[in-house]
Structure 1
Amino acid sequence: MHAMILAGGLSHERDVSIRSGRRVMEELRDAGVEVSMHDVDHGLIPALKEGGVDVVWPLLHGASGEDGSLQALLEVVGVPYVGTTSQAARVAWNKSVAKTLMARYGISTPDAVTMPQSLFREVGAEQMLDSIAAKLGFPLVVKPVRGGSALGLSIVQTREDLARAMVHCFAYGDMALIERFVEGREIAMSVIGSGDDARALPGVEVSAADGRYDYDARYNPGRIEYFAPARLSVEEAELVAHTALRVHQSMDLRDLSRVDIILDHDGVAQVIDINICPGMTETSLMPQAIGAAGMPLRELYYAIAASAASRGV
């Protein structure tokens, strides 16, 4: 089997993507797979059309790898690939659309409003912010509707900080999701498989001493303490696993995903993010979950790649 890893791209998460790609490439090689790694550039389509590639594993984080466009390209070229279809990826990538769909399926997610940057200019930013604050209260989470790795995310405690958070958010996209902050334990739930065969791996609890699980904390060791498996009762573990599986299956996700959940003080599992292309770096959450399940990385990665190759486009 010849697998091509796609990593890099032009998003803010390029470096993380390359680190993820290298880690997966090493594990697949150790499993006996012929592996190459390619960036998303002018040479990609010719490399795919030359033949000899049995399966592509996209590991691009950010828009180009998670908004469905790269998946659509692979479908057009006719090369099997790991991960969610282009149609399902487009839904999961847009946090506002994903929240609407989850609400339809009865999956808990924090109350939020979505606002474009253009509307702030048209009706007046201060009046908009006052109205948002009155509706949702504080604290709030402000983040881009389309984005990952906590880029552009702020936790806002007061009205005075809200404007600054909006400016920070709009630096990463023209649409902002302003969401009610939920207190509780953050549990990252990884899911592998597709449809009825999908299963949740043990949760990974994320504990930040300063309460900020931002980009730097995610990819530079030291600021975050991880517990794999998460410190949950049997009932809590079943709840977050069931919630992650419902998200994965109801949104037609495929092969692998990561669902980030806040288990709030009332025992409600609140979904705060969905990742169709989770990070695979040395500090990433999915590899930790795989380790907590007692599964060798190379064997699981081989199984994922082989399954995608045999499935076809």
Structure 2
Amino acid sequence: MSTFGTNIDVKALGKVAVLMGGRSSEREVSLMSGTGVLAALQSKGVNAHKFDPAEQGLDQLKVQGFDRCFIALHGRFGEDGTVQGALELLGIPYTGSGVMASSIAMDKIMTKRIWRFEGLSTPDWRMVASTEDTLAAFQALGAPMIVKPARDGSSMGLTKVMTADQCAQAYALAAQYDAEVLCEEFIAGDETTCPVIGSGAAAHALPVIRIVAPEGNYDYQNKYFTDTTQYHCPSGLPEQEEKAIQELVEKSFRTLGCRGWARADIMIRASDRKPFLLEINTSPGMTGHSLVPMAARATGVSYENLCLGLLASSALDDGEAEHV
């Protein structure tokens, strides 16, 4: 892994657009990710430019002569298959998963259905459409219960419900972000995350990161804007546990048809040390607090080489990744 992002013909990459910002609730984080990626690519001599889809139409990518895109967009209209579909129509290769995998992975409920069908462990859940549904889910799943939007990220709209009288407010908050709301069994134990790099049989997991947040609250603020959350990489987990998580994450990646890169979040149940998949992010954060760069550094890959290697793997759905 330490050679990732090396021996790449930078000139062959052509003119590159770093897509950032956008119109989702994660715009602020996306701008932070994109700014970092842009600086990294430019430091490597790439002819890279900022491109904010909220400020100009995607058709301008063709008009302005861009050859490929690094997608640093997060959330809706960025990692849900919509931008990917537009780039397919424009014929401009892009980083990360294609249209179908991006769309499925963005929908936590559809993702869990597929993982469950394939025999991969994920917490029990209910899809709800009202306060009454949320109360019924609480009775079935027990306390604590996680309530969150089905198609949003960065812990937006998430509530940890401890009592029945919290259900109405939790549902109302999640429904502000998405019409589909997910109620999920809470898994008590170690919180971890694990990135995957590559495509198909060559996709492989990076080191596992163990997350220790203040009072166990790994929310939007503690993810991006505080320095009190602790990230352990190496994870400090027993070697057998780390390997089991990496294998589970690789399976979750391939099962959804992901390519390029992604990052899966996993809880390890304290009672029996069984790992459970929570979700997978197909356009992970690349900010100063982000976890894919942290795991890559543990294998000897710099932030700059990580960005360059991911860019070089950009592709369209109808062909293999373009290794430049």
Contact 1:38–1:44 at 8 Å: present in 2 too? no
Structure 2 CA distance for aligned equivalents of residues 130 and 200 of structure 1? 38
How far residue 43 of structure 1 moved from its aligned partner, in angstroms, is: 3.0
Rounded to whole Å, the distance in 1 between the matches of 2:156 and 2:135 is 24
- Identify the residue that residue 174 of structure 1 maps to in structure 2: 179
Q: Indicate conservation of the 8 Å contact 1:258/1:278, yes or no.
A: yes
1:67 equivalent in structure 2: 80
- More helix per residue: 1
State how far apart, in whole Å, the 1-side matches of 2:195 and 2:313 are: 18
Query: Map of 1:49-60 to 2, 5 A cutoff?
Result: 49-50=62-63, 52-60=65-73
TM-score, normalised to structure 2, is 0.90
Q: What SS is found at the alignment partner of 1:247? A: helix
* Deviation beyond 4 Å, 4+ runs, structure 1: none
Say yes or no: does 1:227 pair with 2:232.
yes
Distance 1:248 1:299 in 2: 22
Query: Who is 1:152 aligned against?
Result: 157
Among candidates 198, 205, 213, match of residue 203 of structure 2: 198
| Deviation at residue 183 of structure 1 after TM alignment | 0.6
1:231 alignment partner, SS class: coil
Structure 2 CA distance for aligned equivalents of residues 130 and 211 of structure 1: 24
CA distance in structure 2 between the aligned counterparts of 1:280 and 1:129, rounded to whole angstroms: 34
Cα deviation, residue 42, structure 1:
6.1
Matching of residues 102-181 of structure 1 within 5 Å: 102-116=115-129, 120=130, 125-126=131-132, 128-181=133-186
In the alignment, what sits opposite 1:299? 305
Aligned to 1:268: 274
The one-letter amino acid paired with 2:138 is A
1:23 counterpart = 2:36:
yes
TM-fit CA distance, 1:51: 5.4
Q: Which TM-score applies when normalising by structure 1?
A: 0.93
Which of 250, 256, 275 is residue 251 of structure 1 equivalent to? 256
Q: Structure 1 residue 45: deviation in Å?
A: 3.0
2:293–2:302 CA contact under 8 A, matched in 1: no
Structure 2 Cα separation of the partners of residues 99 and 130 of structure 1 = 21
Tell me which of 55, 58, 66 is aligned to 1:45.
58
Cα distance change of structure 1 residues 129 and 13 upon mapping to structure 2, 3 Å threshold: closer
Per-residue CA distance 1:54-75 (angstroms, 9 max, x = gap): 2101111111111100100000
In structure 1, runs of 5+ residues without a counterpart are: none
How far off its partner does 1:41 sit? 3.8
Total equivalences in the alignment:
304
SS in 2 for 1:64: coil
Name the SS for the 1:210 alignment partner. Answer: helix
RMSD of aligned C-alpha atoms?
1.5
Deviation of 1:186 after TM superposition, in Å, equals 0.8
Question: 1: CA distance between counterparts of 2:144 and 2:265?
Answer: 19
Q: What corresponds to 1:95 in structure 2?
A: 108
Bigger shift: residues 274-283 or 214-223:
214-223
CA deviation after TM superposition for structure 1 residue 83, in Å = 0.8
Per-residue CA distance 1:130-162 (angstroms, 9 max, x = gap): 422221111100000000000001111111222
- Say if 2:18 and 2:70, in contact at 8 Å, map to a contact too: yes
Choose from 268, 289, 292 the match for 2:295.
289
Equivalent residues of 2:135, 2:167 under 8 A apart = no
Greater shift in the superposed pair: 286-295 or 63-72: 286-295
**Distance between the aligned counterparts of 2:55 and 2:27, measured in 1?**
17
Query: Are residues 1:188 and 2:200 paired?
Result: no
Offset of 1:194 from its aligned partner?
0.5
Query: Secondary structure of the residue that 2:83 maps to in structure 1?
Result: helix
Partner of 1:311: 321
Q: CA deviation at 1:38?
A: 0.5
Distance change >3 Å, CA 42–CA 7, structure 1 → 2: closer
CA–CA distance in structure 2, aligned partners of residues 131 and 252 of structure 1: 33
Q: Residue by residue, what CA displacement relative to the aligned partner does 1:240-283 show, whole Å, maximum 9, x if unpaired? A: 10011001111111111000000112121100111000000000
What is the CA-CA distance between 1:306 and the residue it aligns to?
A: 1.6
Distance 1:154 1:91 in 2: 23
